[in-house]
Structure 1
Amino acid sequence: MAAAPPLSPTLYLDHKQHQHFHNPTKALPFPSSRKNPLLSLQRLHLFNCRCSLPSSSSTTTTNSVTPPHYSSFHDDPFRGTRFLSNEELENLKALECFVYLQDLESGSLSVRVMRTDEMDLTAELLAESFAESMLMPLGYGVLMRFLVKQYLMERRAVMPHAVTLVGYFNGEKGNELAGTVEVCFDERGANASPPTPLPPNSSPYICNMTVTKHLRRRGIGWHLLKASEELISEMASSKEVYLHCRMIDEAPFNMYLKAGYEVVRTDNIFILFTLQRRKHLMRKKLPGCNSFPESDSDDELES
């Protein structure tokens, strides 16, 4: 499926939509929370996950019960000491309670907000996806994981205005991390340097989505997108959701169209001179939580 945004002054890990490199040694010290710590890497779009769309017979539920192992996001060590309004405290509580459950053909998927003790695992998945799309040498793996974790820590500090979701697949190998996606709800959660074409800061934005390599083509990417939209319907005042898709990524593009997104703008050809791929900015107006289309079981995204 689709992906994530860039990374340069901002991190956006994009499976196929990677961005570019600057000198990695310039990544430190890290900027303030709204700046992407991955300054060394020119916008990482992680948008394009490779996976299949789910069977039309599958069922979806959103559980409002907080799992007992959750610690309060209000006490999160990465949140800092910023004063939270009553509305923000309520939104934090809603994020704690959000769980998206889905039965798949070969197991089940649960999507929820990433916990602090899952940050290393999530950073590793994002770093591997970016390295794979960029054909990076193995020696960059440690650096990439470090930079991505710094990004996740900084994005964690803007909760509840943006959040990182993780999906766990329970199948033959037990419960394992299956994918991740970042959701920005409003202007305070927006990245300081989003990819082009620029989306409106005040609107919800989906990015940095990827699926674990051996779990692709099972519908996980589709449901990460669906879970993101359901959470946006609960958390955001604006229901116009934006994301990016590279022009060369036909399968993710078709999936977005199937999910109800439309192209609103496309990069000018001169973006190629900045060593970036041309991208579509796509938008969907959410009508309601239960209106997400079902996909046919034979719809698959090629890797």
Structure 2
Amino acid sequence: MAAPALLSLSPAVSRHPHLLFSHTHSPRHLRLTPLAASSSPSPSPSPSPAGGGGGVFLSPSALSQLDALAAFRYEHTFPHGSLTVRALTPTDDAEAEVLVRLLASSFSEDVRWAPAQRYAQLLAFVIRRYLYERRGLAPHAAVLVGFYKPAAAEEGGEGEVDGDEGEMACTAEVSLDAVGAPGAPPTPTPPLEFPYICNMTVKTSLRRRGIGKQLLKACEDLVVKMDAKTRVYLHCRIIDEVPFNMYIKAGYDIVQTDSILVWLSLQKRKHLMRKELPQVSVGSDVQP
């Protein structure tokens, strides 16, 4: 569904994830892009020393936000099961590997120029490195993962189960400020100082169950609870009707649309969309 500072998929819940992969066609060339420059109000975080894995030094305020991010949970119950969304932490190595496979599988769905399995293996290598760097930017950016547990009547289905949490069903990334912003966001370019939702996708076998809608709400809930600016941006390709309709129903408006000239670079045209989240007083809880 939306994008980070590494690879670039288009934002789509139903079929096309929006990883920040920069891609072209025939064949697609993947390249890591640099992280966004650290340009935030004082006291400003600064990049970690060499070998620090893309992390930043944290102020007391940022440390408090880091605790809030670790405690973040978004839960929703469907007639067919339940969904729990939380942030991926630096110690979630097993979960990170499941997430790498989920993203690689999602992005390789539409590849026609090479065997999807081989392409997914290439993507897995790039995504693994990307996730390592992005997790080091917490609490300025967060990778959210959603776990689905079917209702009793549906138990016994396929899927990778991670302990008591259930099957990893979906993921999204939220950049909360300029420090955590993508290094190379897709066009039309969003203002980097505002929250930005990207790399949003739902596992193929669990789509069309309302999980994408709740994942989007979880992203918005995180923005509010992290006390970030409440104007949120994301991208959606023009051809992706299902996620586009979901965004419209959720209150997002089109801010700008790619010029038709983007076709010259073999990219699909995209909408930049925006939503003003309701102001919530500090200390209040936002319910799903």
Instruction: Map 1:188-207 to 2 at 5 A.
Output: 188-207=179-198
1:187 partner SS: coil
Q: CA deviation at 1:252?
A: 1.1
> Alignment length, in residue pairs?
247
Please state if 1:170 is matched with 2:149.
Answer: yes
Between the aligned partners of 1:217 and 1:288, the Cα distance in structure 2 is 30
| One-letter code aligned to 2:215 | L
The residue that corresponds to 2:48 in the other structure is: none
Residues 236-267 of structure 1 show CA distances to partners (whole Å, capped at 9, x for unaligned) of 43110000011111121111000000001000
Q: CA deviation at 1:11?
A: 2.1
The residue that corresponds to 2:72 in the other structure is: 98
| One-letter code aligned to 1:108 | S
Between the aligned partners of 2:139 and 2:125, the Cα distance in structure 1 is 24
Please, which runs of 5 or more residues in structure 1 have no aligned partner? Answer: 36-76, 295-303
Instruction: Map 1:149-168 to 2 at 5 A.
Output: 149-168=128-147
The residue that corresponds to 1:133 in the other structure is: 110
Between the aligned partners of 1:147 and 1:124, the Cα distance in structure 2 is 11
Counterpart contact for 1:17–1:245, Cα < 8 Å: no
TM-score by length of 2: 0.78
RMSD (CA atoms) = 2.8
1:234 to 225, 231, 235: 225
| One-letter code aligned to 2:216 | L
Q: CA deviation at 1:152?
A: 0.7
| One-letter code aligned to 1:4 | A
Residues 37-95 of structure 1 show CA distances to partners (whole Å, capped at 9, x for unaligned) of xxxxxxxxxxxxxxxxxxxxxxxxxxxxxxxxxxxxxxxx9766642100110011001
Between the aligned partners of 1:91 and 1:106, the Cα distance in structure 2 is 34
Instruction: Map 1:1-303 to 2 at 5 A.
Output: 3-5=1-3, 10-14=6-10, 15-16=15-16, 20-21=23-24, 27=31, 32-34=34-36, 82-115=56-89, 116-117=92-93, 118-135=95-112, 136-137=114-115, 138-171=117-150, 172-173=155-156, 175-288=166-279
Counterpart contact for 2:54–2:133, Cα < 8 Å: no
Counterpart contact for 2:260–2:269, Cα < 8 Å: yes
| One-letter code aligned to 1:129 | S
Residues 218-244 of structure 1 show CA distances to partners (whole Å, capped at 9, x for unaligned) of 111101100000000111431100000
2:86 partner SS: strand
Between the aligned partners of 1:78 and 1:112, the Cα distance in structure 2 is 24
Counterpart contact for 1:13–1:126, Cα < 8 Å: no
Residues 171-206 of structure 1 show CA distances to partners (whole Å, capped at 9, x for unaligned) of 124610000000000000001110000000001000
TM-score by length of 1: 0.74
Between the aligned partners of 1:13 and 1:185, the Cα distance in structure 2 is 20
1:277 partner SS: coil
Please, which runs of 5 or more residues in structure 2 have no aligned partner? Answer: 38-50
Counterpart contact for 1:158–1:189, Cα < 8 Å: yes
Between the aligned partners of 2:52 and 2:86, the Cα distance in structure 1 is 18
Q: Percent identity of the aligned residues?
A: 47
**Aligned pair in 2 of structure 1 residues 129, 196: CA closer, same or farther (>3 Å)?**
same
| One-letter code aligned to 1:5 | A
